[in-house]
């Protein structure tokens, strides 16, 4: 009967309810204000260029939507967010917004859904919850199987906030519940604690259901002032997805971006799936490590 | 704390997770093969015209997507479905498909999301599950509040099949579970039974949560041969949404459709939120009644 | 043969090459900086609300795209522009951008293509040329017939800048040619001269081809500092499309906008197809008049 | 002054008025009826798969829209056409239409606009004029410069039929004018004559303007019964874009397509930018040759 049922339902072509952020690229900037164009549209080695020519992936294609978020604290605590299911490299609105948008905290994400999966604006990163912006590159191993159990663990608040069908938004839901429940007063420590508990829960569910596929959790979350970044893969032989960070000044010259030594207006911290320009100033985030960036842009690495 | 939390989450602009099919219009045709254009694009009084000039509604606007489905049994048991979030009246693909698409069973739906709600292709009707096509005009009263409880009642199969965020798709999930569990062998009787149980469960959840808003459940479901249609509103003073049916031949002449007496190729049955043309051959479905249409296109009305 | 040919080509369903800005609504703001949301998304009587409930039109529907433009002079001379073919009232990106976008010069346009006409982002207003933003409500009478002759009159520069198929963009092309050729040094006088010549040329072409349909040319053009607005209809019995202006402060309170007396930061000038709020502070632009707004926001009316 | 002007206009970000079909892939099928899915969605080596993994191109990405066309002669002389600017590999409507669409004549095209160029549905191939469907892979050398002169040569009919901004649609306009003027009674010979004159005119314009970039004109045009295909590059050292044809039966097995020997229902002719499956049954169209396919699916190669 179970088989009959799945045969019965399996026939529908089109959007499945499970979606993954596996084949994505992201970048986050915190520092002296820069234009969005310096991060996403001007440099030929930007995240957008990576969207059709990523170097460190087998499938060099991220044409299934993108999103950018940025903070304008004098006007609103919540970040602005702009998302689209059209490919980033041909979005006229993005090309027009990027040069007139300036911020000290910017996020950008390009997304590649697997062929056959649903492409919808609600599934594009970054996801915003109040003053937080969040994005994910990777996938929750066996998400289709553990999704329902995962949802049962959520508070009504986090449950109701899920608007799309990505595993990523479910990870954010777990994370926000843990964050709201944690007693730790320091915000970054609280985030680190919440993330650790989130990963533990996900691994617990994987174990419970004998799921073999590893989870890949390259995450970035910020409130516009501080940020936490994570590079994680489940225990086993599989390598984590690539993730790098750099500290200095993000400079764009002759259509290329690079990291220079910090300038007088203070250092910036940039995190990206692949180095933006010359690798010499970029460091790989070690496997299963957190990067904690405080509101002075001091960087702290820590094993998860 | 709960208040703090909801304040916390409420700030995000954009797509909410709750969506409703309240302000919609639909039409279904079963009978001798006709072109899709005869139902949706050719007549000035078609469902598409209703999409920007509905007569029996206060808000005459259905510009938030549409969908059509049709059966080609010689090629596939599952219906074909074409949906878009762009307004129906300007969709070049629909205008091109409609005149070359011919079927004995056609469905069409135009949708108006409330301002501020998510518009996404996965939320457009008709919804397809295996060989069934389903559409809904109305809303589940208090859906945002009862959604989680409703989902807890679903089988994994029905739960996992939900791809979007509409109340409509959740009603379909309940209905399909009831249908799979029912022992009644006659398919139409089985559908009627499943629908009655679905409505009972929805009313039970409404009562449990003291929800005052009524549910409006104008539904149509078909497997391409037989069909069940329903006009329902929760007990109380509120009138049900409008729903009509006609039996005869659907004729398009001078850019207008009308129902004539059946022709030699047998009668057609047409169901629509508003009469397509001259009202004289249309009958209102009585409040809280089912219309059962068997594979000989015999029509049977029954109180729910 | 000519008949055969037009029969031959007429059959293609879908986008026609002629498009019109006839059924549209627009608003422009010049004054002390305000948020884009104050003009377009917050007030229930905004241009977006007008997009589905315009009061002074027979067809109360503007669901075929919209556009907004605004100036950020400290970052770029050219205005930013954001356009979409989806209805304004459900565009999550617009809802997210509007509250974090602040400018002293903002434009907004909602568009209703006639059923059957092409809806494409390149056809959405405002149109941008270098530092100018331009929008149009109305139509060029007999545009399909005079289009080719009109194009023959254009400079290569203006010809090549036309990206879409609207009559509006062709009016802008004429206007920019006249403006580049005019010798008048004062920019506003130069714009007025160029507009007068543009209208003369359009009327000349109409006369040459015995076109009976009048042209409706409600236009707004600005460089971010000064602006010219025009309300025009061809000679004859037909009334011009509605157009209003107000001088004072644009205030949003309890979800409604209104015009108050100017504040200490100086007066704003607002132009709109319909008054935004209480009509008492709005004045109708007289038929076939220009409104010249200088960079001190002094308003000058002049017959065309 | 000219320089000032181009500087003046050059600043607008976003859609340019010139667009090219250079980086595209197409396929056409004529033969015993097959499902659209056999050509485009089922096989892993289909045109859709080529859309993100083309083998014979340096840029393996065709994510800027696609189009399919097919003939249903019993319902309409004009082909049906379905186009979208979203990537083909994630279009739920295409996945749903393909298995229920069956025809003896099918066309499919995937398109890659250059970064920065306009992506719009009107610019997607195939283009339809009355009963003809047309598609193009390549580009007109120096199109931006010769466009205006080219348009001056067009009849009003062909001029007015151009809805978008691609060089491809302009080539079709020239071709249709030549075809309507040609006196040759045999349709295929007439098409060949019209094409030769079209190419001559394009080369004449290139020479007149000293344009160095070659034109690449891989074209396919059909009326649903017969077809003409062309592989062309301007004189010089540059190779033509790839183009292949095969005669036999198109078979899909285990998710792969291949060409088998013709079956009892007669041979099919398939033309594609890259072989669909095992190369042994495919032949390269020689440089600067026509392929004429008559309504008996006899194939005739001829130098241009």
Residue D287 lies in a domain: yes
Q: What is the DSSP letter of B287?
A: T
How close does chain C come to D11, measured CA to CA in Å? 5
- Closest of C145, C153, C201 to residue C6, by C-alpha: C145
Closest CB to B96 among C13, C63, C87: C13
**What's chain D's average pLDDT?**
85
Residue whose token pair is 């199987």: A145
Q: Is the pLDDT of residue B180 over 90?
A: yes
Kindly give the pairing relationship between strand B66-70 and strand B23-35: unpaired
Peptide bond into D168 cis (omega under 30): no
pLDDT digits (tens, 9 = 90+) for B93-147: 998 999 999 999 999 998 765 544 556 788 889 999 999 999 999 999 999 999 9
End-to-end CA distance of chain C: 44
Q: What is the mean pLDDT of residues C36-45?
A: 90
Among all residues of chain A, which has the CA nearest to that of C34?
A: A75
Query: pLDDT band at D102, cuts 50/70/90?
Result: very high
Report CB contact under 8 Å: A96, C75.
no
Beta carbons of B43 and B49 less than 8 angstroms apart: yes
pLDDT digits (tens, 9 = 90+) for A176-215: 999 999 999 999 999 999 999 999 999 999 999 999 999 9
pLDDT digits (tens, 9 = 90+) for B44-72: 888 776 544 444 433 333 446 789 999 99
Q: What is the mean pLDDT of residues A93-117?
A: 83
Residue B36 lies in a domain: yes
Report CB contact under 8 Å: A89, D117.
no
Chain B partners within 8 Å of D33 (Cβ): none
* Pick among B1, B11, B77, B125 to test the A interface (most A CBs inside 10 A): B11
How high is the pLDDT of residue B281? 93
Longest Cα–Cα distance in chain A: 69
Q: What is the mean pLDDT of residues C188-209?
A: 97
How close does chain A come to B203, measured CA to CA in Å? 21
Q: How many residues does chain B have?
A: 304
Query: pLDDT band at B165, cuts 50/70/90?
Result: confident
Chain C partners within 8 Å of A76 (Cβ): 99-100
How close does chain D come to A152, measured CA to CA in Å? 30
The verdict on whether A24 is a catalytic residue reads yes
How high is the pLDDT of residue A44? 83
Query: pLDDT band at C164, cuts 50/70/90?
Result: confident
Query: pLDDT band at A123, cuts 50/70/90?
Result: confident
* Pick among B41, B42, B62, B63 to test the C interface (most C CBs inside 10 A): B63
Q: Is the pLDDT of residue A22 over 50?
A: no
Chain B partners within 8 Å of C64 (Cβ): 87, 90
Any long-range contacts for D249-257 (C-beta under 8 Å, 24+ apart)? D249/D31, D249/D32, D250/D29, D250/D31, D250/D34, D250/D38, D250/D39, D250/D276, D252/D38, D252/D42, D252/D43, D255/D42, D255/D43, D255/D44, D256/D43, D256/D44, D256/D45, D257/D38, D257/D39, D257/D42, D257/D43, D257/D45, D257/D46
- Closest of A207, A209, A221 to residue A136, by C-alpha: A221
Other beta carbons within 10 Å of B117 = 22
Chain D partners within 8 Å of C71 (Cβ): none
Report CB contact under 8 Å: A148, B161.
no
- Return d(Cα B50, Cα B61) in angstroms, integer: 8
Residue B13 lies in a domain: no
Report CB contact under 8 Å: D100, B72.
yes
Beta carbons of D124 and D68 less than 8 angstroms apart: no
Report CB contact under 8 Å: B75, D121.
no
Alpha-carbon distances, residue C218 vs C169, C239, C285 (angstroms): 13, 12, 10
Report CB contact under 8 Å: B76, D100.
yes
How high is the pLDDT of residue C121? 80
Alpha-carbon distances, residue C46 vs B114, B118, C43 (angstroms): 17, 21, 5
Residue B2 lies in a domain: no
- Return d(Cα D125, Cα D134) in angstroms, integer: 7
Report CB contact under 8 Å: C161, D5.
no
- Return d(Cα A163, Cα C92) in angstroms, integer: 13
Element spanning C208, H or E: helix C187-208
Among all residues of chain B, which has the CA nearest to that of A8?
A: B130
Helix D167-181 to helix D187-208 angle, to the nearest 10 degrees?
130
Element spanning A39, H or E: helix A36-40
Peptide bond into C126 cis (omega under 30): yes
Query: pLDDT band at A131, cuts 50/70/90?
Result: very high
How close does chain A come to B36, measured CA to CA in Å? 21
Residue whose token pair is 């009048």: C214
Report CB contact under 8 Å: C8, D129.
yes
pLDDT digits (tens, 9 = 90+) for C260-285: 999 998 999 999 999 988 889 999 99
Q: Is the pLDDT of residue D20 over 70?
A: no
* Pick among D82, D134, D163 to test the C interface (most C CBs inside 10 A): D163
Structural domain of A176: 20-303
C interface toward A at CB cutoff 8 Å? Answer: 35, 72, 75-76, 80-84, 92-93, 96-97, 99-102, 121
How high is the pLDDT of residue C118? 54
Catalytic residue among C24, C105, C124, C230: C24
The two tokens of residue A218 are 């390259």
Report CB contact under 8 Å: A15, B129.
no
Kindly give the pairing relationship between strand C66-70 and strand C80-84: antiparallel
* Pick among A17, A42, A61, A90 to test the D interface (most D CBs inside 10 A): A90
Q: Is A261 exposed, middle or buried (0-12, 13-18, 19+ CB in 10 A)?
A: exposed
Q: How many residues does chain A have?
A: 304
pLDDT digits (tens, 9 = 90+) for A269-294: 999 999 988 889 999 999 999 999 99
Residue whose token pair is 């100018």: C132
Q: Is the pLDDT of residue D15 over 90?
A: no
- Helix residue ranges, H only, D221-271: none
Q: How many domains does chain A have?
A: 1
Among all residues of chain A, which has the CA nearest to that of B10?
A: A130
- Return d(Cα C129, Cα B49) in angstroms, integer: 37
Q: What is the mean pLDDT of residues D122-134?
A: 93
Residue A10 lies in a domain: no
How high is the pLDDT of residue C13? 32
Q: Is the pLDDT of residue C159 over 50?
A: yes
Q: What is the mean pLDDT of residues B245-258?
A: 94
pLDDT digits (tens, 9 = 90+) for D141-164: 999 999 999 999 999 999 999 988
| Burial C225-243, CB ≥16 within 10 A → b, else e | bbbbbbbbbbeeeeebbbb
- Helix residue ranges, H only, B187-286: 187-208
Q: What is the mean pLDDT of residues A38-58?
A: 66
D interface toward A at CB cutoff 8 Å? Answer: 13-15, 52, 60-61, 63-64, 85-87, 89-90, 92, 95-96, 99, 113, 115-119
- Return d(Cα D117, Cα B67) in angstroms, integer: 30
- Closest of D247, D221, D224, D259 to residue D104, by C-alpha: D224
Residue D108 lies in a domain: yes
How close does chain C come to B85, measured CA to CA in Å? 8
* Torsion angles phi and psi, residue D180, rounded to 5: -70, -25
Among all residues of chain B, which has the CA nearest to that of A173?
A: B9
Q: What is the mean pLDDT of residues D270-276?
A: 93
CATH code of the domain covering residue A287? 3.60.20.10
Beta carbons of C69 and C107 less than 8 angstroms apart: yes
Strands annotated E in chain C: 23-35, 66-70, 80-84, 102-112, 127-129, 132-139, 216-222, 227-231, 244-253, 256-260, 268-272, 282-284, 289-293, 299-303
Residue C5 lies in a domain: no
Instruction: Classify D235 as helix, strand or coil.
Output: coil
- Of chain C, the percentage scoring pLDDT greater than 90 comes to 69
Catalytic residue among D24, D105, D124, D230: D24
How close does chain B come to D199, measured CA to CA in Å? 31
Report CB contact under 8 Å: C93, A76.
no
Q: How many CB pairs under 8 A join B and D?
A: 44
Neighbours of chain C (3+ CB pairs under 8 A): A, B, D
pLDDT digits (tens, 9 = 90+) for D51-75: 444 444 333 334 467 899 999 999 9
A interface toward D at CB cutoff 8 Å? Answer: 13-15, 52, 60-61, 63-64, 85-87, 89-90, 92, 95-96, 99, 113, 115-119
**What's chain A's average pLDDT?**
85
- Of chain D, the percentage scoring pLDDT greater than 90 comes to 69
Report CB contact under 8 Å: D100, B80.
yes
Residue A76 lies in a domain: yes
Lowest mean pLDDT among A154-168, C105-119, D281-295: C105-119
Closest CB to D82 among B83, B96, B121: B96
How close does chain D come to A259, measured CA to CA in Å? 25
Report CB contact under 8 Å: A80, C100.
yes
Asked whether the ipTM of the predicted complex exceeds the cut of 0.85, the reply is: no
Chain A partners within 8 Å of B181 (Cβ): none
Q: What is the DSSP string of C106-149?
A: EEEEEEEPPTTS---GGGSSPEEETTEEEEEEEE-TTHHHHHHH
Query: pLDDT band at A14, cuts 50/70/90?
Result: very low
Element spanning A51, H or E: helix A47-53
Residues A154, A157, A162, A163, Cα dihedral to 10°: 160
- Of chain B, the percentage scoring pLDDT greater than 90 comes to 69
The two tokens of residue D4 are 């000032």
Peptide bond into D126 cis (omega under 30): yes
- Return d(Cα B169, Cα B162) in angstroms, integer: 6
Among all residues of chain C, which has the CA nearest to that of D173?
A: C9
How close does chain C come to D43, measured CA to CA in Å? 30
User: Regarding predicted confidence, which is higher, A242 or C2?
Assistant: A242
Q: Is the pLDDT of residue C230 over 90?
A: yes
Peptide bond into B126 cis (omega under 30): yes
Strand order in the sheet with A127-129: A127-129, A132-139, A216-222, A227-231, A289-293, A299-303
| Burial B70-108, CB ≥16 within 10 A → b, else e | bbbeeebebbbbbbbbbbbbbbbbbbbbbbbbbbbbbbb
Chain A partners within 8 Å of C82 (Cβ): 93, 96-97
Helix B167-181 to helix B187-208 angle, to the nearest 10 degrees?
130
Q: Is the pLDDT of residue D115 over 90?
A: no
């Amino acid at each position: 009967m179970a088989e009959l049922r799945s045969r019965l339902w399996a026939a529908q072509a089109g959007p499945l309810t499970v979606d993954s952020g596996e084949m994505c690229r992201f970048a986050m900037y915190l520092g002296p204000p820069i234009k969005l164009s310096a991060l996403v549209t001007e440099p030929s080695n930007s995240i957008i260029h990576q969207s059709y020519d990523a170097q460190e992936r087998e499938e060099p294609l991220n044409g299934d939507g993108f999103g950018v978020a940025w903070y304008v604290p004098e006007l609103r605590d919540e970040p602005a967010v702009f998302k689209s299911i059209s490919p980033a490299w041909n979005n006229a609105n993005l090309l027009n917004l990027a040069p007139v948008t300036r911020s000290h905290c910017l996020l950008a994400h390009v997304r590649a859904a697997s062929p056959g999966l649903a492409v919808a604006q609600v599934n594009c990163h970054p996801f915003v919850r109040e003053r937080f912006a969040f994005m994910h590159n990777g996938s929750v191993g066996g998400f289709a199987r553990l999704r329902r159990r995962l949802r049962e663990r959520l508070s009504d608040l986090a449950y109701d906030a899920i608007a799309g069908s990505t595993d990523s938004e479910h990870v954010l839901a777990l994370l926000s519940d843990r964050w709201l429940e944690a007693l730790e007063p320091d915000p970054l420590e609280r985030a680190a604690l919440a993330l650790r508990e989130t990963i533990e829960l996900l691994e617990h569910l994987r174990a419970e259901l004998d799921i073999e596929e590893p989870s890949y959790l390259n995450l970035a979350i910020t409130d516009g002032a501080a940020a936490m970044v994570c590079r994680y893969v489940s225990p086993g032989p599989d390598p984590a997805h690539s993730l790098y960070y750099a500290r200095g000044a993000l400079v764009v010259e002759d259509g290329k971006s690079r990291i220079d030594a910090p300038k007088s207006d203070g250092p910036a911290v940039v995190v990206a799936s692949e180095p933006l320009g010359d690798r010499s100033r970029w460091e790989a985030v070690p496997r299963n490590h957190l990067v904690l960036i405080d509101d002075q842009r001091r960087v702290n690495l820590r094993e998860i």
